[in-house]
Structure 1
Amino acid sequence: MEGVLVSAATGVMNSVLAKLTAFLGEEYKHAKGVRDDLVFLQSELSTMNIVLQKLADVDQLDELSKDWRDRVRDLAYDIEDCIDLSVYRLRGGSSAGESGLAAKVARMAKKIGAFRQIARQIQQLKARVVEVSERRNRYTLHGLVPTSLDAASSSKVDVRLCALWTETKHLVGIDGPRDDIISRSDRAGFVVSGSDAA
């Protein structure tokens, strides 16, 4: 179940990153401050997407990771909505049928107003991205409580564990120590049971 939610979050994130890349290329060529904020958002979301992909490999997420995943997913949806609305405001919504100087001035004024509103929204989204990232760092108990990311990075299987599940008659080099333990327990009066004990 957790993997499905994380996968849903990474799916949204991939869509948002693609839209941000396209939006960066076409709309904000000359608006440097807004472009810098969009580049920051793209960079942060790309890193968050990598972390979400790592979380997808974890069987059980801790509560902090669940909360962070949900916040990042909501943030990705909000950024996607902002981009879609911005594209609509900048391209659509204008009355293309009207021509003349007054209509051009009205469209230009409307576009400038849209740019300002979009810039404010992007700054608010940037602040939320920073807040989500800082909150996770602030409340992570480094080394004290294992987190889902710790589990994801340390979930490699130790090859020596296979020996624990092998039958004793197939193990090499244990006959001497096994026989020694059995003889000591016999002398002490302990009852030894098992198919190999004799």
Structure 2
Amino acid sequence: MATSERPWSAVLRYAESRQNLFGSVCGLAGVGIALTGAAGALWPLVVGGLYTAGALIAPPDRPATPEFAEEGDRLDRLRADFATLRGYLAEVELPVAARERLTALDALVEALLEPGWVTDPEHLHLIARTVRQDVPEAVDTFVRTRWWSRFSAGAEAPEEHLERQLTALHEQAVSVASALREAEAVRQQIHTRYVEERGD
């Protein structure tokens, strides 16, 4: 789920973020305090400190979670929904470890969704649930919980839950890939036996 972007696009995105807006409002309050003379010679520290505090307490920008209208397991629709999910995930800020797990899961799901591989309805349903429900919900819940966890010291780190969820989802996708590999191996063995045993 890696994306390439121009260097200044991250700056523009931050300029429009809630963190910058909250920080700017608090920084302006610091300017007001400085103009009254209450901050004295330390006014730059007051303004900078209030900006930083505002940026830290601001709720994070949370991209809208994609809504998938179709619940069916048609491969073409599922591939389109997977592309939508990728667009959503590219906008979400995640810890490095969680992003690595998500990238591994992404690569495996992409391979499984190639036409002609997954035909078993149960396997298709599992992949559809991963794409349309499990991954979006795991990521959105993490983004919401991460902000609130700042105000509750000693709470379990939300990124640990996210990493565990993504690991479990990857293992499920691996089980589908393993089943496909075994089925193809059996198919190859049957064909080998057929070729070797048939008469001229």
Normalised-by-shorter TM-score class: 0.3 to 0.5
TM-score normalised by structure 1 residue count: 0.48
Q: Quick check: which has more Rg, 1 or 2? A: 1
